């Protein structure tokens, strides 16, 4: 009787172990899959996308040192060579006029995340080179903007039409109809800085008074 009881106890223990094993193994595999997917997502964004020889980030700058959560998110708006950010909706207080004496965006004033920087005028020019880059007005997840596609590779980035804040008082303008993006340098004289702006009809290089607050789409350092 004692021997039979021990056999039943041993059998019950074996069944319990084998019943638990698949659940544990599945949980570990699922955890590993989730880790891999998360890592892949982060790596894909951190590498950016190469368009006509320039590696662009896939998202706008949000608060200093951070990207937006999604490619179509507007992020924050910045005056030229300034880390102070402004919201892309609603009214604001504390608007300040931006005074500049330098001709290039300084590193300690660049709000781009680590490993990234505000693009140069030459890099913006390459993005707008229609012989190598196709650009089209489109809507992505309900957000209007422009898609830029490398003709050789088919890889693309989307820039939302986030509008801007006007230079005198910071009034919000042209949200959803225009996109404005800063370059990192400016002419030696005057109060303008190089930039890019686009609408549903065109995308072109430009110069604007550096008191405006524009979006920032960084390039890899």
pLDDT in tens, 37-73: 333 333 345 689 999 999 999 999 999 999 999 999 9
Provide the residue range defining the domain that includes 186.
48-220
Instruction: Verify that 9 and 64 share a domain, yes or no.
Output: no
How many domains, in total, are found in the chain?
2
Instruction: Verify that 118 and 138 share a domain, yes or no.
Output: yes
Beta strand extents in the chain (DSSP E only)? 49-51, 54-56, 77-79, 85-86, 116-117, 133-140, 143-150, 156-160, 164-165, 172-173, 179-182, 192-198, 203-209, 213-214, 219-220
How many other CB atoms sit within 10 Å of the CB of residue 64? 17
Instruction: Report which of residues 30 and 102 the model is more confident about.
Output: 102
Instruction: Verify that 21 and 31 share a domain, yes or no.
Output: yes
Instruction: Verify that 73 and 129 share a domain, yes or no.
Output: yes
Asked whether the whole model's pTM tops 0.85, one would answer no
Instruction: Verify that 38 and 103 share a domain, yes or no.
Output: no
Instruction: Verify that 35 and 58 share a domain, yes or no.
Output: no
Q: What is the overall mean pLDDT for the chain?
A: 85
Secondary structure of the chain: what % helix, strand, coil (to 5)? 25, 30, 45
Instruction: Verify that 18 and 106 share a domain, yes or no.
Output: no
């Amino acid at each position: 009787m004692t021997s039979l009881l021990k056999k039943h106890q041993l059998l019950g223990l074996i069944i319990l172990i084998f019943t638990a094993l698949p659940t544990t193994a599945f949980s570990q595999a699922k955890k590993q899959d989730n880790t891999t997917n998360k890592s892949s997502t982060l790596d894909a964004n951190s590498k950016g996308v190469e368009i006509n020889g320039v590696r662009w980030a896939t998202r706008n700058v949000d608060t200093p040192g951070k990207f937006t959560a999604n490619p179509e998110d507007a992020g924050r708006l910045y005056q030229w060579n300034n880390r102070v950010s402004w919201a892309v909706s609603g009214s604001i207080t504390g608007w300040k006029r931006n005074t500049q004496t330098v001709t290039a965006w300084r590193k300690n004033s660049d709000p781009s995340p680590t490993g990234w920087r505000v693009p140069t005028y030459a890099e913006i020019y390459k993005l707008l080179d229609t012989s190598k880059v196709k650009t089209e007005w489109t809507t992505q997840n309900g957000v209007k903007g422009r898609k830029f596609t490398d003709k050789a590779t088919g890889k693309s980035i989307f820039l939302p039409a986030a509008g801007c804040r006007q230079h005198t008082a910071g009034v919000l303008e042209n949200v959803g109809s225009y996109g404005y993006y800063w370059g990192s340098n400016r002419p030696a004289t005057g109060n303008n800085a190089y930039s890019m702006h686009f609408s549903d009809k065109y995308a072109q290089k430009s110069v604007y008074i550096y008191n405006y607050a524009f979006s920032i789409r960084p390039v890899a350092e």
